[in-house]
Amino acid sequence: MANLLLTNRCLRACPYCFAGRELEPGGRGTSVSWEDAVYVADFLFRSGEDRLALLGGEPMLHPEFVDLLLYFRARGLHLTVFTSGMGPAATLRALEAHLPAFDGDTLQFVCNLNDPEQTPPARGEPARVHRFLTAFGPWVMPAFTIYRPDFRLEFLFDLIGQHGLTRHLRLGVAHPVPGAPSRHVSPAQYREIAGRLCSYRPLFERFRVKPGFDCGFPMCQFTDAQLGWLQRLCGEAARFECGAAIDIAPDMSLYHCFPLSRFQRRSLYEFDTLADVNRFYDRLRDDLHAELPGIFEECDDCIQRREGSCAGGGACHLMSRMIGEASVRLPEIDRALADVGVPGRARTD
Ligand code: SF4
Ligand code: SF4
């Protein structure tokens, strides 16, 4: 699946945001044009792809958000909208009016929710999010980003019950942005985070909510008993992946994922199909893993990595480490990074 950033404008300022380099806080931001939206739909059709995720910033801030949604649907695409829930009131009204155009699994919202006590909300955020969840609850999968080991999930179960959200919770961790300061989870914190997450087992079971992991979780930080519980609850083994998100920015530039947006950045116009794009960014990850197998020493000869059950943590961590260690690893690393088109020591931001 590809992700299209409809606009790089956002109304929140989450402390863990790893998309910050791509956003324009304040101001009008940059929005996808109709011409490029049509190009993306043609590109996906040519690629045999029928899914598209719409991102921002806040995608509902695109001035023609509802029309774009209807257009992409008319092109046969199944749509996932990643949102903060902070859409303009007029957009939400128009969206409600057009909901009957979508059925079954053709439209889903994934709403990233912050704990109002641990993460101070933006101005007007609670009221706007409440309005969004009230109107679209059954279409909304709740999502949460872990950026501190003492995170709390109680408020999410309250929202799931109150608004009838889907009983699948998408869990992400805050990732580092190589070459830039960012608030993120360090490898040493993952075990504590896994334990805290599993301490919510009674609530997950009582509300029959299935947790799902976004990229970058390391499998070995869960005990066998915890993995068994996750598998029983979800009906399938949890996935511990790091794969190209394929983000398409409003100007049609293209990158692996937000944290790696400055590395191997290309234009969508350089590729013929999505498979070509995926192959290109797979090489970036392979080159990084050739230097550092994973975020822990143990990743080197780990059977889970060899068998493909765990990616060895996020490539964003590996890139951060290489940049941080460049002064002691040069010149070999500098050469290797340059060979794969990655800015080395002299060229980082
Ligand atoms: S590959 Fe690395 S992170 Fe994944 S399970 Fe093995 S040691 Fe842990
Ligand atoms: S490098 Fe991998 S783990 Fe890190 S944000 Fe990108 S896809 Fe996720």
Query: Does any ligand 2 atom lie closer than 6 A to the CB of residue 318?
Result: no
**pLDDT-derived band at 327, boundaries 50, 70, 90:** low
pLDDT tens digits along 203-245: 999 999 999 999 999 999 999 999 999 999 888 888 899 988 8
Query: Does any ligand 2 atom lie closer than 6 A to the CB of residue 312?
Result: no
Query: Does any ligand 1 atom lie closer than 6 A to the CB of residue 238?
Result: no
What is the secondary structure of 145-191 as a DSSP string? EE-STT---HHHHHHHHHHT--SEEEEEEPPP-TTS------GGGHH
Query: Does any ligand 2 atom lie closer than 6 A to the CB of residue 216?
Result: yes
Distance 311 CA to ligand 1 centre (A): 7
**pLDDT-derived band at 318, boundaries 50, 70, 90:** very high
Residue in the block written with tokens 């609530």: 203
Asked whether residue 341 carries a pLDDT value surpassing 70, the answer given is: no
pLDDT at 348: 38
The percent of residues in the chain predicted with pLDDT above 90, rounded, is 77
Query: Does any ligand 1 atom lie closer than 6 A to the CB of residue 304?
Result: yes
Going by DSSP bridges, is the β-strand pair 210-213/168-173 parallel, antiparallel, or unpaired?
parallel
pLDDT tens digits along 267-283: 999 999 999 999 999 99
The helix/strand/coil state of 218 is coil
Report which DSSP code applies to 7.
Answer: B
pLDDT at 347: 39
**pLDDT-derived band at 340, boundaries 50, 70, 90:** low
Alpha carbons 101 and 70: distance in angstroms, whole number: 8
Q: Considering every ligand atom shown, identify the ligand nearest to the alpha carbon of residue 298 and give its number.
A: 1
Asked whether residue 334 carries a pLDDT value surpassing 80, the answer given is: no
Alpha carbons 322 and 315: distance in angstroms, whole number: 11
Asked whether residue 349 carries a pLDDT value surpassing 60, the answer given is: no
pLDDT tens digits along 106-135: 999 999 999 999 999 988 999 999 999 999
Distance 177 CA to ligand 2 centre (A): 10
Distance 134 CA to ligand 2 centre (A): 32
Q: Which comes out higher in pLDDT, residue 243 or 254?
A: 254
**Average of pLDDT values for 61-78?**
97
Q: Which residues, in sequence order, are CB contacts of 189 under 8 Å at separation 6+?
A: 149
**CATH number for the domain running over 2-274:** 3.20.20.70
Q: Element (H or E) spanning 144, and its range?
A: strand 140-146
Q: Which of 240, 260, 263 to mutate to test the pocket of ligand 2 (most atoms within 8 A of CB)?
A: 260
**Average of pLDDT values for 319-342?**
65
Residues 178 and 319 sit within 8 Å (Cβ to Cβ): yes
Q: Which of 257, 281, 282, 285 to mutate to test the pocket of ligand 2 (most atoms within 8 A of CB)?
A: 257
Query: Does any ligand 1 atom lie closer than 6 A to the CB of residue 298?
Result: yes
The strand pairing partners of 111, in sequence order, are 83, 142
Q: Which of 22, 145, 242 to mutate to test the pocket of ligand 2 (most atoms within 8 A of CB)?
A: 242
pLDDT at 312: 96
Which residue has the least CA distance to atom 1 on ligand 1? 312
Query: Does any ligand 1 atom lie closer than 6 A to the CB of residue 169?
Result: no
Task: Write down the mean pLDDT value for the chain.
Answer: 91
Distance 74 CA to ligand 2 centre (A): 31
The domain spans of the chain are 2-274, 278-347
